[in-house]
Amino acid sequence: MKALVVPLDGFTGALLAGPAVRAVATRAHPVTVLCGPGGAPAARLLPHVDDVVVWEPPEGGRADDDDPLVRRLRAEAYDVALVFAPDGHSPRPTEQLLLRARVNRVAACGEAGARAVLGTAAALGFRPRPGDDGRLRVVPPPDTAQLTGAGPYVVVHPGGGPPGHAWDPDRCAEAVAALADAGHRVVVTGGEDETALTRHVSGDIAVDLGGRTDPRRFAGVLRAADAVVTGAPGPAHLAAATGTPVVSLVPPGAPRRPDGVPSVLLAPDDCTARDVVGAVHRLLDERT
């Protein structure tokens, strides 16, 4: 049986689809993840993914018989597809594309979270392996001590979040200083387009890894951390997938608490550097 898993919500959505991918892989081979460019780096980190197909939805969300993806999927003759859409977005256009591509069975989930996607997989007969707890996971990342240096550390990831999630850079820099004053080594991470931000937040206190990690190395940096402080859902869930506790700076009512690890939620508009230090210490106390 050949299966497609189709997360429609970028990096975070691909990570949240991981438990369903593992369940599908109990009965299907190959398992292909079909996703947009934003989701592909996360999809390539998931266990039991045999292939990743990057797809840009057509204008208006519709595809005809001449669409290259429709032709490709028809040629590869997939038996089943699971579509996972973010909250507030309809999976219907993607379902129609897959049916046009003659995928035999298509199921869709319009709810966020790993539990919801696992439920959709179970409805098609795909259940986790015995002992699989359904948590987020990634393939074992590389050792990154050559980047972070020796000794324990806390990661602060100041950027990469949706509007309303990013913390003020100056206040983030204050949190880095407060963590250092409390005796923590701090590693600041960010993408290639965030080097000015990470340089500012790091100052002359923290290890600045802005622009220096691809997704696999980033996962390695998160896995080795004592805790991760971020307002970005993607890094928060990636930290959870590596087993690292998370301090999430999220506005009230924001969805998606990191799955499967201890976490503390702080409102970015209200919290102080002292609050961040207190949250980190609370998580570290839970680990001991």
Dihedral sign, Cα of residue 249, residue 254, residue 256, residue 261: positive
The whole-number pLDDT of residue 151 equals 94
The whole-number pLDDT of residue 243 equals 96
DSSP, res 38: T
Answer yes or no: are the C-beta atoms of 254 and 263 closer than 8 Å: no
Percentage of residues in the chain having pLDDT higher than 90: 73
Dihedral sign, Cα of residue 137, residue 138, residue 139, residue 143: negative
> Which residues lie closer than 8 Å to 237 by C-beta, 6 or more apart?
12, 15, 16, 136, 256, 258, 259
Which amino acid type is present at position 113? G
Mean pLDDT along residues 172-176: 97
Of residues 60 and 230, the one with the higher pLDDT is: 230
Distances (CA, A) of 211 to 83, 157, 196, 217, 227: 32, 12, 10, 11, 20
Closest CA to 176 of 213, 203, 152: 203
Question: What is the CATH code for 145-287?
Answer: 3.40.50.2000
One of 3.10.580.10, 3.30.1490.190, 3.40.50.11810, 3.40.50.2000 is the CATH number of 3-123, namely: 3.40.50.2000
Answer yes or no: are the C-beta atoms of 35 and 55 closer than 8 Å: yes
3-state secondary structure at position 284: helix
- Three-state SS for 106-147 is EEEECCCCHHHHHHHHHHCCCCCCCCCCCCCCCCCCCCCHHH
At 260, the pLDDT band (50, 70, 90 cuts) reads confident
Please state the pTM of the whole predicted model: 0.93
- The string of pLDDT tens digits covering residues 85-143 is 876 678 888 888 999 999 999 999 877 677 888 888 999 999 999 999 999 999 999 99
What is the chain's mean pLDDT, rounded? 91
CA–CA separation, 263 and 181 (whole Å): 22
Q: Name the segment(s) of the chain with CATH classification 3.40.50.2000.
A: 3-123, 145-287
